[in-house]
Structure 1
Amino acid sequence: MSRDTGPDWSDRAPRENGRPRVIVIGGGVSGMATGVYGQMNGMDTRIFETHVLPGGCCTAWSRKGYIFDYCIEWLIGTGAGNDANRIWRELGALDGKSVRDFDMFNKVVDEHGRSVTFYNDPDRLERHLMEISPADEALIRSFCADLRRFIKIELYPFLKPDPLKSVGEKIKTMLEILPAFRLFWRNAATPMHDFADKFRDPLLKRAFRNIFYQDPECFPLLPYLYNMACAYNNNAGFPQGGSLGLSRSIEERYTALGGILTYRARVDRILVEDGRAVGVELKGGARHYADFVVSAADGYTTIYGMLEGKYKNKTIDTLYDEMLNKPGILFPAVVSAFVGLEGDLDPNDSHSTTYMLSEEEAKQLPGALQASIVVQLRSRYSDGFAPAGRSVIHCTYFSDFNYWRKLRSEDRKRYWAEKKQVGEFVRGFLEKLYPGIGERIELVDVASPATTKRYTGNSNGSILAWKAFSDAEDLANKLVNKGRMQLPGLGGFYMAGQWVGLGGLIRAASSGRFVMQFICKELGREFKAWESGGAAPWHAGKLGHFPQLDKTPSERPAKLRLVDAPVALEQATAV
């Protein structure tokens, strides 16, 4: 099964059954996807995961019966009949699950209480925006007209990497794109900031930047229209069981195919002989050997740690020497504050709202990068996130990783004080929104960017790695298209995950599919994949046990208990 120590792979002799062996580093979505597709294609795969839960950032933790879902806000591919959905079906990620779709993407409220709701329906959105600012009619009608055009388009380039596409497949893709080429080109070439700055209404000028909850800063119009169109088509919903539920379903699919997932196994070094990766060395010195090694772990740690920086080129050095710490290149780190409370909130309230903060309020949020905070009513996303009669709220904001890293390493007392400040701000802010809610709050659980770094190993605590449409995107694409997900001078080794495929869960999953197609090509065999067909209804028991996460520090005064997520996560990994 998946969570024992597994068989002994220290034997380097060829396998009697002739099945190639593949070691995968990292049990996140991309690592498990690599394993699933490897098992489908007649290989014996084994995943080594540092921690005790699958999924990497696609995870959750539990306190006092509350489940704090960390990752998914919307998932591309939840609707039937498209390539993204096909991948999730192949991975078993949606087996037996319902999907919750919302009629709006996000709501934005300014400091004065004015609000705009970004409905997915372009007709409803257009009427709403026109009521707010008739003076901006031209821009409003332009945006909504393009949204209608995107709704009619279904292009999901997630099944096959470009280098492996036949001439016929490339021509087919071109013919599909050609009718909408001008639409794609125009919206890819128009920065959202430039577009938003044209609005006369100050609310719309700020709100459009925050359709994706907070401002990614470098995105053009294209991803906003694409994702809102997916949501309109019920193809960007929230799957039952949430983030950890998605990861557990893929894990179940993987082990059912015969894969081995070993937890509490940290890879320290990739073993190389004669220019070819031959295995891995774990913390503690145990060595395991395979015909191929795939790293679905942090890119910097893989290249400069496990491989000691010996296999790189100008593209890789530019990415990790210049881009990694360049402002605006990595997707920002996030501070999360989960709130567990008695009762529910007004059912008419938006499931997700971005609140613009005053200058004074923003100064109270430690390490904040933008003057805004996102409040999501997570109990509306999926059943089972809170005990009966209770609810979960998730508050987030973009934050400076180095601020938290330095605090934790140099002034631990202040680090804890700043985390307490986050909890106190969230409690006070929610009290302003919902007078009297403070008496109903049972606990507040805070996770900083340092938490993400320690739990996942992601550089700078970034959940999504390189920003799409940034200076790093073309360089990362070269690793897939020109480099074929390999490193120069190193055979038998491939990379998967967000550091080569960029962020987003469907892209993480597709990177596992891509890398196994490259391996099949190297082996001279046809790539195969099929849907899982699992139909058993999903239930919360499939989330499994949350190791030691139900054990909390001592009660704090009154009803507010500030629980520190890093402690919880460290306990989980220290078993």
Structure 2
Amino acid sequence: MNSFNINKRVNPLGLKKDEYDVIIIGAGIGGLTCGCYLAKSGMKVLILEQHHKPGGYCTSFRRNGFTFDAGVFSLGGCSDKGNLGKIITDLKLDRFVDLIRLNPSDVIITNDCKIAVDNDLNKMIHQFQSNFPSESEQIEKLFKFINNSSYSGLFTELKNDSLEDLLDKYFHDPKLKSMFGLYMGHFGQPPKRTSAMASAVVFKEFMLDGGYYPKGGIQSFADAMAKCFKDNGGDLIFSCLVEKIIIKDKKVKGVMLKNKSNIRAELVVSNCDAIQTFFKLVGREQLEKTFIDRMNRMVPSTSAFAVFLGISRRVDLDHKCKYWYSSNSMSENGLLGFGRGGKDEIMEHIIFSFPSLYDPNLAPKNCESVCLLTGAPYADKEFWDNNRDEIAERIIREAEKIIPRISDHIIVKEIATPLTYHKYTLNDRGAAYGWACTPSQITKDVLKQESELKGLFLAGHWTSQGFGISRVALSGYNAASIIKSAVLHDK
């Protein structure tokens, strides 16, 4: 990871109080990463966040002594060679947060099989081979193909393929395909609709370099980035909603807040939902018709439905890690009960995470924090008001197949629907990770990080291939690098 320094302000005469070199909209990990690098380089940077805490989906919340992670359950790519690991080293984030690594990082469970995802590549390959001996040679080939390929190599090889295409190319056993489809898929998106390229990124960053967890909960990582940003001179304002990006003659001039006050800057980075960025904050009148048409054709990812439980006993599991679970009963009966699109719309599964299993301080003594998450299409308030409790009960009943009699010990229960995730992130339809990762939407420039409007840049998962904190952090680094180059060029 190349560090950079500008060592002087964009405006050598000095900036006024309400003027900044760069304004960043959104204190998600992409925005925080971008802000850290720009502030570190000597620029006057302001981050504006509509929520009362940093992180976006990388946040935690507390209820009656229990800590729950809202959407991100672990970090990937944190090794010395990983994208996020390089950023952590570059920004010296270990000053503010301690990462532990779970081993195994995950356990995958279906009706037919249970496999632990070991941190050691050879042990992981052996786990799959011992469960599927007839596919041993092909299992090793797939692991080594993804492990030894660069991101550009994976893009060249897989850009036109679905995950189903990739699995069919390597395997015959449908049970093995189901295991990989569950773990490499995208929040319930079925393999035939999921990009093989995006799935390979998930595989590379989570299966081969995953299982990292910050002590204190996922929020600790976002808080560490916010502290790094402020330590480098950046300004960060919470509960501050940007209503408009001010543009004159196709050039950025600053932002207008909800209270109608203006803050000036000739460079703005939007780390928020791309649909909101262009259609609300910028406005269609500033955009070319071809761009509007392209945006209208793009499809956001699915959202999520989560149940957060505080239980009055410790869980007894073989491994302290996340669990991925799918069963025949789930597929046949349905967790969500949508009835539109059927199995083509969502592949139902549950991701289990246990913050207090990784850090005992995240729950009262002899208790456990349990997070249960599944992919969920968007629906209106009436649907969730009528169905959320029933859906939560279905998820808990399925969870009892992994944690018996959990219902008898619930003392805290919170439910999050796609409407909840929209409320706290403003992502269109509560999208979990930007655009849906389908083959038709995976291109090298999902959205260019330097927009057609002078001074407007993008960061975050709406610009990246694949999903996960590692990818959005990398997008933040890339946005900062592009801005640095643009500033030096203008000088």
TM-score (ref. length: structure 2)? 0.84
Which deviations, in whole Å up to 9, do the C-alpha atoms of 1:539-564 show, x marking residues without a partner? xxxxxxxxxxxxxxxxxxxxxxxxxx
Q: Which letter does structure 1 place at the counterpart of 2:163?
A: M
Deviation at 1:450, TM superposition (A): 0.9
Deviation at 1:364, TM superposition (A): 4.6
Which deviations, in whole Å up to 9, do the C-alpha atoms of 1:89-120 show, x marking residues without a partner? 3345443413223225431222xx64344545
Structure 1 unaligned segments of length 5 or more: list them. 1-12, 157-176, 325-329, 528-575
Q: Which letter does structure 2 place at the counterpart of 1:514?
A: N
1:26 paired residue number? 26
Alpha carbons of 1:285 and 1:434: their partners in 2 closer, same or farther (altered >3 Å)? closer
Structure 2 unaligned segments of length 5 or more: list them. 1-12, 339-344
1:496 paired residue number? 459
1:103 paired residue number? 104
Q: 2:177 pairs with 205, 211, 219, which one?
A: 205
> Retained in 2: the 8 A contact 1:266–1:282?
yes
Q: Which letter does structure 2 place at the counterpart of 1:336?
A: A
Within the alignment, does 1:393 sit opposite 2:370 as a pair? yes
Alignment of 1:415-430 (within 5 A): 415-430=384-399
1:358 paired residue number? 329
Deviation at 1:262, TM superposition (A): 1.0
Q: Distance in 1 between matches of 2:349 and 2:93?
A: 33
Which deviations, in whole Å up to 9, do the C-alpha atoms of 1:238-277 show, x marking residues without a partner? 2333321111001000111111111121111112233321
Alignment of 1:130-169 (within 5 A): 130-134=129-133, 136-137=134-135, 140-148=136-144, 150-151=146-147, 155=150
How many pairs were matched up?
Answer: 465
Alpha carbons of 1:133 and 1:512: their partners in 2 closer, same or farther (altered >3 Å)? closer
SS at match of 1:284: coil
Alpha carbons of 1:365 and 1:20: their partners in 2 closer, same or farther (altered >3 Å)? closer
> Retained in 1: the 8 A contact 2:160–2:440?
no
Q: Which letter does structure 2 place at the counterpart of 1:338?
A: F
Q: Distance in 1 between matches of 2:20 and 2:489?
A: 12
Q: Distance in 2 between matches of 1:256 and 1:334?
A: 34
Cα RMSD for the two superposed structures: 3.2
1:375 paired residue number? 352
Deviation at 1:448, TM superposition (A): 0.4
2:6 paired residue number? none
> Retained in 2: the 8 A contact 1:344–1:389?
yes
Within the alignment, does 1:289 sit opposite 2:264 as a pair? yes
SS at match of 2:462: helix
TM-score (ref. length: structure 1)? 0.72
Deviation at 1:122, TM superposition (A): 4.8
Within the alignment, does 1:479 sit opposite 2:409 as a pair? no
Q: Distance in 1 between matches of 2:470 and 2:202?
A: 13
Identity of matched residues, %: 22
Which deviations, in whole Å up to 9, do the C-alpha atoms of 1:507-555 show, x marking residues without a partner? 222222222222222222799xxxxxxxxxxxxxxxxxxxxxxxxxxxx
Alignment of 1:39-54 (within 5 A): 39-54=39-54
Alpha carbons of 1:431 and 1:151: their partners in 2 closer, same or farther (altered >3 Å)? closer
Q: Which letter does structure 1 place at the counterpart of 2:140?
A: C
Q: Distance in 2 between matches of 1:184 and 1:277?
A: 33
Q: Distance in 2 between matches of 1:228 and 1:144?
A: 14
1:568 paired residue number? none
Q: Distance in 2 between matches of 1:126 and 1:16?
A: 59
1:332 paired residue number? 302
1:533 paired residue number? none
Alignment of 1:15-414 (within 5 A): 15=15, 21-95=21-95, 96-110=97-111, 114-119=113-118, 121-134=120-133, 136-137=134-135, 140-148=136-144, 150-151=146-147, 155=150, 185-186=156-157, 191-197=162-168, 199-212=171-184, 214-216=187-189, 217=191, 218-219=193-194, 227-228=202-203, 230=205, 234=209, 237-313=212-288, 316-324=291-299, 330-349=300-319, 351-358=322-329, 362-367=333-338, 369-401=346-378, 403=379, 406=380, 408=381, 411=382
Alpha carbons of 1:288 and 1:229: their partners in 2 closer, same or farther (altered >3 Å)? closer
Pick the structure with greater CA Rg. 1
SS at match of 2:286: coil
Deviation at 1:498, TM superposition (A): 1.9
> Retained in 2: the 8 A contact 1:100–1:240?
no
Deviation at 1:229, TM superposition (A): 5.1
Q: Which letter does structure 2 place at the counterpart of 1:246?
A: F
Detail structure 1 runs of 4+ shifted over 6 Å in the superposition: none
Q: Distance in 1 between matches of 2:270 and 2:37?
A: 15
SS at match of 1:479: coil
Q: Distance in 1 between matches of 2:90 and 2:318?
A: 36
SS at match of 2:423: helix
> Retained in 2: the 8 A contact 1:335–1:396?
yes
